[in-house]
Amino acid sequence: MKKLLHKKIVILVLALAIFFSTTAFKTDFFEIAKQIEIFTTLFKELNMNYVDDTNPGDLMDTAIKSMLNDLDPYTQFYNEQDVEASRINNAGDYTGIGAKVLTLEDKLVIIEPYKNYAADKAGLKAGDEIIKVDNVVVSDFKDDAANLLQGAAGTEVNITYKRQGKTNTVKITRESLDIKAVPHYSMVDDKTGYIVLRKFNEKASTETLGALRALKNQGATQLILDLRGNPGGLLNEAVNVTNIFVPKDQLVVTTKSKVKKYNKTYYTKRDAVDTEIPLVVLIDGRSASASEIVSGALQDMDRAVVVGARSFGKGLVQRPKPLTYGTQMKITISRYYTPSGRCIQALDYWNRDENGKATRVKKENYNAFKTRNGRPVFDGGGVQPDIEVESSKQTPITKAILNENLVFNFATNYYYNNNVEDLKGFELSESDYKSFKNYLKTTGFNFETKTEEALNDALSVATEEGLESIINSEYNNLSATLQAYKTNAIDGNKLQLKSLLTDEIIRRYFYSEGLYTYYTANNPEIKKALSVLNNPKQYASILR
């Protein structure tokens, strides 16, 4: 018995010796243990002694989120519902009412009912505001109310919603929905295939490959791969999609971390399907993460011409870590680097400004890298397209209008006051655009430019120093000039705003499928891609 006890003690001592000898323990463990003990005692005393009743769950939720807010926005805590939502997003399997939904403070807004699925068959439309799910009032629900719409296939749910001022209730039977990574592919002309890749879930490479083969059977000898608006997803699927167009054993992406086991290199593992087909990749400011791995790798290998607007600039990699009680944490573990060695992370979350906002890497601090053919490419600010389409870049005023859902709301009103039957021939008229400008006025839309923000800060400082009377006249002149700029900016961004309005309106009548069809005939980025593909000399010269 003594020998057994002695053996256990020796093993325990050896284990502790190994644990205590690690660098992480030496540098961090005492401080971590100290802070956890402080927090535990604080949390206990607060809940026991605070003058009013407290909700420990809410307090802890706030504490966790506040702690993580000081890091990057991709390091997140997931409760049980969030874990399931993440699984659905990655797997592409979903059971619910079959609609894309926006969660607002007091309601859920239908962004798009998926064609021929439950919500669509029940008559729900984009713009409908869900205020009650069964007996649960959305405004009273503290978690993500969109979870209320999910449930087992075949179960029923009563939806109470507002439409154009009227309240309605409808019963919907939930059903399974296959969320496609490739929602559309078609021939743009007799030799050009077009593939829309909207997310990098587990089906991304399989569906992209299937689309490519189908298009080649239809006669495609050149290809447009559309990654616009694609927020990313699974890193290994980004590698697999790249592998469709480049040979086996090619470096696609490298990840670097402070934890050695997360330092990895990802190479293509299979023979390519087509290494020769001329390829244009479309990106914009909402193309992020895995989209940037694909577009950046194909650009670095001189395998594709990239067209559109600079991508989002997310060069950070996350990994899920299971926690207790079915919860989970997604932690940023590393940065990724394209084959040329560049990291395209645009925002610096570790050196924030005086307002606590992440700072953007300045252009003068970009570093130059070389593609295989020696073309210069740069880090620090997303993937820069080889050919930039001016209308693809969102200006500050366009972003402000979109962030307030004003394009979406105008399209809702337009749908109920107009009839559109001709998809390919649709064009937003001048009177329609004038109506949109008038609508902006009725909403009281106003946005503050960074210049205005700085100007107001300067006036506050001047007031503290008693100098406001001296600079007041100049301040008023500058303020009036900025207001005039903002008024003119609506017309200055007319082309882009009309394009955004057109897209949203077409989606109301013809769903996303109709919008992709409209794109093939009218979209400026696709037109630019076609002009490059149809000019082999230009295509080759760009890649040289």
Catalytic positions are 289, 300, 314
C-alpha 37/C-alpha 42 separation (Å) is 8
Rounded Cα distance between 161 and 108, Å, is: 9
Cα torsion at 48, 53, 58, 59 (round to 10°)? -40
**Separation between Cα atoms, residue 316 and residue 297, nearest integer Å:** 16
How many Å apart are CA 424 and CA 49, to the nearest integer?
68
Contact (CB, 8 A) for 409 and 127? yes
Q: Fill in the amino acid letter for 501.
A: L
E strands present in 241-309: 251-256, 264-267, 279-283, 305-308
| Radius of gyration of the chain, Cα coordinates, nearest whole angstrom | 27
Using alpha carbons, select from 347, 350, 316, 314 the residue that is nearest to residue 330: 316
CA 436, 441, 442, 445 torsion-angle sign: positive
Indicate the DSSP class of residue 139: G
Helix (H, G, I), strand (E, B) or coil at 99: strand
Distances (CA, A) of 496 to 230, 247, 404, 427, 485: 19, 39, 16, 14, 17
Q: Would you say 111 and 102 are in contact if contact means Cβ atoms under 8 Å apart?
A: yes
Q: State both tokens at 318.
A: 């996350």
- The count of other CB atoms within 10 Å of the CB of residue 168 is 12
Among candidates 381, 369, 373, which has minimal Cα distance to 340?
369
For residue 334, the one-letter residue type is S
What is the distance between the alpha carbons of residues 106 and 521, in angstroms, rounded to a whole number?
39
Which helix H or strand E contains 120, and what residues bound it?
helix 118-121
Q: Which two tokens stand for residue 476?
A: 């008023």
Residue 200 DSSP label: B
Nearest to 323 by CA among 69, 143, 78: 78
Are 293 and 336 in contact, with CB atoms under 8 Å apart? yes
